[in-house]
Amino acid sequence: MKLGIITGHVVATRKDENLIGAKLLIIQPILPDGAPAGKPVVAVDTVGAGIGETIIYAVGSVASRATQHPNAPVDAAIVGIVDSVDCARTGGV
């Protein structure tokens, strides 16, 4: 899983039938310290996340399993809303 911040939403009136009713959000991937970590991605929201919230998301073939339709063409799915991140280090990586 990865961390991200919701930065926007996507409206698609025509889409695969397995995505009908799905909320699509734009995620900015981030590092645990909140710094941006790559290009934004579009993900299916499975938890009711909103703009500005920090979330965790799954990518790849496992992402579609988090949706109502496991056969949906999904590359990323929001699977949790983050309450806090503790990134204390104890040496090493």
Taking alpha carbons only, the member of 60, 54, 62 closest to residue 37 is: 54
Assign 47 a pLDDT band (cuts: 50, 70, 90): very high
28 and 59 in contact (C-beta within 8 Å)?
Answer: no
Quickly state the pLDDT bin for 61 (edges 50, 70, 90): confident
One DSSP character per residue, 42-84 reads: EEEESS---TT-EEEEEEGGGGGGGSS-TTS--SEEEEEE-S-
pLDDT of residue 90: 56
List of domains in the chain: 2-81 (2.40.50.220)
- What phi and psi values does residue 58 have, to the nearest 5 degrees? -105, 150
Q: How confident is the model at residue 89 (pLDDT cuts 50, 70, 90)?
A: low
